[in-house]
């Protein structure tokens, strides 16, 4: 399969471009390298925090909530998620575990009580009342999944806070000083095993081959927005895969050591089917949490609200495929994959002019048949590496969040999307 190439240009700040080319992401082929019914007790516990929010010890004026210490890329929409996010965003993370556990238990109870007794399996046998009940049940289940998705996402944010880190709230935040530092190598060891850290860093180091070996971190890279997001998502899948291999080693009694060698051996011992299953995030809620973060981080256009409701539909359809690495290609290849800026507008004017004269319009001249125009995002080389490192760390923590929710008794929805062929 021909790789999809992404244009990039490298140049120093305030200086002419010194190297131009393409970052060409490869197709993803990873190997190791609401329905809400909150209990009064929960609201009572949150209400009991008012005296903390108004206490002078928070370093704010009396009567005001504590200043936000954390920002999230994903808007939290459910009441349950909003309450949990407040704890993280305003320095109350020590209360998060108990509150999240209670909400997972509540979701589990709703899940167990959510069925409609005597409901036929076939729609043809349903009465009007049963059809309404089934629709209500579907809405409730969708809201429960969204709550579980936000719990997984906020659990990841909480885990990073334990290591004094946070996910980038926006691309503009890269390279800027934050009250809570972004994901970084120095703090990763506090929340991840050294072998997992070594594996994730190895991926970032090899993501562009030898491209960055002799280039300063201040060089600018320009990458197609959608493909950069797909690369981030692919690195998150890789981190999920690495954390899964570490869990397999632990279950088999294999000591991990200080590097990724044992993880490589474990991956090599898997059958092809086991490897395929390990290469994708297993549950819908966890994967949607990743996709929403990536989509909002890279400001991708979301799935239209008018699109048919489908539990398997991604909130950002562009991430239905992912990439896990990139390669460099000459800048001359750009014309093979992208139209120059303004090409669609010029083609429309040309077609309109020909049609006005009664001339024949060739299908290749139609704007919809042209190559897409590039939508590029710029990174400093160091910032791009940090983004890829963050993605892999997010994948590792998503694995842990997913299993924590499962262990609490809530049944997450298994994904039905098959991973890409090896």
Task: Select the highest-mean-pLDDT range: 43-57, 219-233, 325-339.
Answer: 219-233
- H helices of 163-224, where? 185-188, 194-206
Q: What is the mean pLDDT of residues 139-149?
A: 88
pLDDT digits (tens, 9 = 90+) for 170-215: 998 887 778 888 998 889 999 999 999 999 888 777 766 555 556 6
Task: Select the highest-mean-pLDDT range: 67-71, 152-156, 218-222, 271-275.
Answer: 152-156
pLDDT digits (tens, 9 = 90+) for 101-121: 999 988 888 877 765 455 555
How far apart (Å, rounded) are the C-alpha atoms in residues 10 and 162? 36
* b/e map 372-409, b = 16+ CB within 10 Å: eebebbebbbebbbbbbbbbbbbbbbbbbbbbbbeebe
Confidence of residue 147 (pLDDT cuts 50, 70, 90): very high
Least confident of 53-57, 301-305, 338-342, 402-406: 53-57
Least confident of 7-16, 205-214, 246-255, 256-265: 7-16
What is the pLDDT at residue 343? 81
What is the pLDDT at residue 341? 75
pLDDT digits (tens, 9 = 90+) for 392-404: 999 999 999 999 9
Q: What is the mean pLDDT of residues 394-420?
A: 84
Contact between 104 and 174 under an 8 Å Cβ cutoff? The reply is no
Q: What is the mean pLDDT of residues 229-238?
A: 94
Tokens found for residue 266:
């474990």
- H helices of 179-317, where? 185-188, 194-206, 225-251, 261-268, 272-278, 284-297
Statement: residue 49 has pLDDT above 50: no
Contact between 148 and 107 under an 8 Å Cβ cutoff? The reply is yes
Statement: residue 131 has pLDDT above 60: yes
What is the pLDDT at residue 68? 53
Higher pLDDT, 291 or 343: 291
Statement: residue 414 has pLDDT above 50: yes
Q: What is the mean pLDDT of residues 30-39?
A: 33
What is the pLDDT at residue 364? 82
The overall average pLDDT reported for the chain is 77
3-state secondary structure of 65: coil
Least confident of 260-269, 282-291, 375-384: 375-384
How far apart (Å, rounded) are the C-alpha atoms in residues 249 and 3? 34
Indicate the angle between helix axes 381-407 and 128-162, nearest 10 degrees. Answer: 120
Least confident of 5-9, 30-34, 345-349: 30-34
Return the domain boundaries, the chain: 1-333+378-422, 339-369
What is the pLDDT at residue 188? 92
Percent of all residues in the chain with a pLDDT value above 90, rounded to a whole number:
33
Global pTM reads 0.76
């Amino acid at each position: 399969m021909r790789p999809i190439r992404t244009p990039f240009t490298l140049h120093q700040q305030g200086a002419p471009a010194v190297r131009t080319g393409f970052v060409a992401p490869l197709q993803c082929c990873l190997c190791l390298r609401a329905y809400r019914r909150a209990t009064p007790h929960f609201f009572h516990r949150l209400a009991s925090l008012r005296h903390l929010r108004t206490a002078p010890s928070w370093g704010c004026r009396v009567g005001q909530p504590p200043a936000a210490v954390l920002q999230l890329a994903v808007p939290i929409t459910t009441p349950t998620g909003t309450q949990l996010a407040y704890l993280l965003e305003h320095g109350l993370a020590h209360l998060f575990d108990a509150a999240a556990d209670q909400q997972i238990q509540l979701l589990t109870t709703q899940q167990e009580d959510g069925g409609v007794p005597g409901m036929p399996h076939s729609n043809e046998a349903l009465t009007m009342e049963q059809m309404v009940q089934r629709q209500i049940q579907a809405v409730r289940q969708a809201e429960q999944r969204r709550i579980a998705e936000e719990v997984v996402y906020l659990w990841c944010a909480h885990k990073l806070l334990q290591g004094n880190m946070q996910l980038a709230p926006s691309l503009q935040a890269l390279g800027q000083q934050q009250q809570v530092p972004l994901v970084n190598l120095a703090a990763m060891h506090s929340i991840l095993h050294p072998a997992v850290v070594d594996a994730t860093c190895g991926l970032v180091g090899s993501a562009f081959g030898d491209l960055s070996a002799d280039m300063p971190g201040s060089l600018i890279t320009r990458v197609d927005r959608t493909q950069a997001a797909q690369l981030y998502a692919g690195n998150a899948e890789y981190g999920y895969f690495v954390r899964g291999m570490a869990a397999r080693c632990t279950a088999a009694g294999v000591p991990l050591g200080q590097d990724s060698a044992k993880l490589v051996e474990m991956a090599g011992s898997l059958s092809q089917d086991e490897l395929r299953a390990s290469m994708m995030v297993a549950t819908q809620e966890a994967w949607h949490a990743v996709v929403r973060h990536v989509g909002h981080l890279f400001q991708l256009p979301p799935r239209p609200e008018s699109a048919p409701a489908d539990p398997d539909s991604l909130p950002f359809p562009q991430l239905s495929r992912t990439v896990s690495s990139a390669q460099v290609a000459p800048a001359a290849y750009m014309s093979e994959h992208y139209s120059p800026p303004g090409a669609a507008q010029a083609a429309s004017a040309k077609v309109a002019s020909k049609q006005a004269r009664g001339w024949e319009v060739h299908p290749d001249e139609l704007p919809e048949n042209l190559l897409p125009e590039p939508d590029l995002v710029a990174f400093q080389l160091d910032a791009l590496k940090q983004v890829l490192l963050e993605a892999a760390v997010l994948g590792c923590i998503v694995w842990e969040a997913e299993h924590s929710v499962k262990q609490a008794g809530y049944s997450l929805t298994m994904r039905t999307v098959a991973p890409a062929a090896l």
